[in-house]
Amino acid sequence: MPTPLSKTKSSFYRRLYVAHLIEQGTASVPALMEATGMPRRTAQDTIASLAELDIVCNFEKAEGESHNIGHYTLHSWGAIDPNWVAANADRLGEALGYR
Protein backbone atom coordinates (compact mmCIF):
# COMPACT_ATOMS: atom_id res chain seq x y z
CA MET A 1 0.00 0.00 0.00
CA PRO A 2 1.46 3.41 -0.95
CA THR A 3 2.42 5.84 1.77
CA PRO A 4 -0.31 8.45 2.29
CA LEU A 5 0.58 11.97 1.18
CA SER A 6 1.14 14.67 3.77
CA LYS A 7 -1.33 17.56 3.73
CA THR A 8 1.38 19.84 2.33
CA LYS A 9 2.28 17.45 -0.47
CA SER A 10 -1.32 16.64 -1.38
CA SER A 11 -2.17 20.36 -1.49
CA PHE A 12 0.83 21.05 -3.74
CA TYR A 13 0.06 18.10 -6.03
CA ARG A 14 -3.62 19.12 -6.21
CA ARG A 15 -2.69 22.64 -7.32
CA LEU A 16 -0.31 21.35 -9.97
CA TYR A 17 -2.84 18.82 -11.22
CA VAL A 18 -5.69 21.35 -11.38
CA ALA A 19 -3.46 23.84 -13.22
CA HIS A 20 -2.57 21.09 -15.69
CA LEU A 21 -6.23 20.17 -16.21
CA ILE A 22 -7.13 23.82 -16.82
CA GLU A 23 -4.28 24.09 -19.32
CA GLN A 24 -5.60 20.98 -21.09
CA GLY A 25 -9.15 22.37 -21.38
CA THR A 26 -10.83 21.02 -18.26
CA ALA A 27 -11.35 24.64 -17.36
CA SER A 28 -14.52 25.07 -15.32
CA VAL A 29 -15.44 24.08 -11.78
CA PRO A 30 -18.05 21.52 -12.97
CA ALA A 31 -15.53 20.02 -15.41
CA LEU A 32 -12.87 19.76 -12.69
CA MET A 33 -15.39 18.14 -10.35
CA GLU A 34 -16.27 15.58 -13.01
CA ALA A 35 -12.62 14.86 -13.90
CA THR A 36 -11.43 14.46 -10.31
CA GLY A 37 -14.43 13.72 -8.13
CA MET A 38 -13.48 16.58 -5.83
CA PRO A 39 -16.24 18.60 -4.18
CA ARG A 40 -17.18 22.00 -5.64
CA ARG A 41 -15.65 23.92 -2.72
CA THR A 42 -12.34 22.04 -3.02
CA ALA A 43 -12.18 22.81 -6.74
CA GLN A 44 -12.95 26.49 -6.13
CA ASP A 45 -10.46 26.76 -3.28
CA THR A 46 -7.76 25.00 -5.30
CA ILE A 47 -8.19 27.40 -8.22
CA ALA A 48 -8.07 30.36 -5.83
CA SER A 49 -4.89 29.03 -4.22
CA LEU A 50 -2.96 28.76 -7.50
CA ALA A 51 -1.83 32.36 -7.00
CA GLU A 52 0.12 31.25 -3.91
CA LEU A 53 2.40 29.37 -6.33
CA ASP A 54 2.55 32.39 -8.67
CA ILE A 55 0.40 30.52 -11.18
CA VAL A 56 -1.73 33.17 -12.88
CA CYS A 57 -5.20 31.83 -13.61
CA ASN A 58 -8.15 34.04 -14.50
CA PHE A 59 -11.84 33.41 -15.05
CA GLU A 60 -13.07 34.48 -18.47
CA LYS A 61 -16.81 35.04 -18.61
CA ALA A 62 -18.50 33.73 -21.74
CA GLU A 63 -19.66 36.59 -23.90
CA GLY A 64 -23.36 37.34 -23.58
CA GLU A 65 -23.83 35.02 -20.60
CA SER A 66 -25.17 36.05 -17.25
CA HIS A 67 -23.66 35.06 -13.90
CA ASN A 68 -20.55 32.90 -13.83
CA ILE A 69 -20.70 31.06 -17.14
CA GLY A 70 -17.25 30.76 -18.66
CA HIS A 71 -13.90 29.08 -18.11
CA TYR A 72 -10.50 29.52 -16.48
CA THR A 73 -7.35 30.29 -18.43
CA LEU A 74 -3.76 29.95 -17.27
CA HIS A 75 -1.63 32.94 -18.20
CA SER A 76 1.60 32.03 -16.40
CA TRP A 77 3.01 29.05 -14.55
CA GLY A 78 5.37 31.24 -12.51
CA ALA A 79 8.38 29.20 -11.35
CA ILE A 80 6.62 25.86 -12.06
CA ASP A 81 7.78 23.89 -15.11
CA PRO A 82 4.59 22.99 -17.01
CA ASN A 83 6.49 20.34 -19.00
CA TRP A 84 7.36 18.50 -15.77
CA VAL A 85 3.74 18.72 -14.62
CA ALA A 86 2.46 17.39 -17.97
CA ALA A 87 4.98 14.53 -17.94
CA ASN A 88 3.97 13.59 -14.38
CA ALA A 89 0.23 14.33 -14.55
CA ASP A 90 -0.78 10.66 -14.43
CA ARG A 91 1.38 10.07 -11.36
CA LEU A 92 -0.03 13.18 -9.66
CA GLY A 93 -3.60 12.12 -10.41
CA GLU A 94 -2.96 8.61 -9.10
CA ALA A 95 -1.29 9.90 -5.92
CA LEU A 96 -4.34 12.08 -5.29
CA GLY A 97 -6.77 9.23 -5.97
CA TYR A 98 -8.25 10.91 -9.06
CA ARG A 99 -7.37 8.10 -11.49
pLDDT digits (tens, 9 = 90+) for 3-37: 789 999 999 999 999 999 999 999 999 999 999 99
In a domain, 91, yes or no: yes
What is residue 63's predicted lDDT score, i.e. its pLDDT? 77
pLDDT confidence tier of residue 66, bands split at 50, 70 and 90: low
Instruction: Give the range of the structural domain holding residue 32, as residue numbers without chain letter.
Output: 7-62+69-95
Residue pair 10/28 in contact by the 8 Å Cβ criterion: no
In a domain, 86, yes or no: yes
In a domain, 2, yes or no: no
In a domain, 33, yes or no: yes
- Whether residue 64 has pLDDT greater than 80: no
Full-model pTM: 0.91
In a domain, 82, yes or no: yes
Q: How many domains does the chain have?
A: 1
pLDDT confidence tier of residue 2, bands split at 50, 70 and 90: low
What is residue 65's predicted lDDT score, i.e. its pLDDT? 62
**Mean pLDDT score across all residues of the chain:** 93
In a domain, 1, yes or no: no
Which CATH number characterizes residue 14's domain?
1.10.10.10
Catalogue the long-range contacts made by 68-75 (C-beta closer than 8 Å, 24 or more residues apart): 70/28, 71/27, 71/28, 72/22, 72/27, 72/28, 72/47, 73/22, 73/27, 74/19, 74/22, 74/23
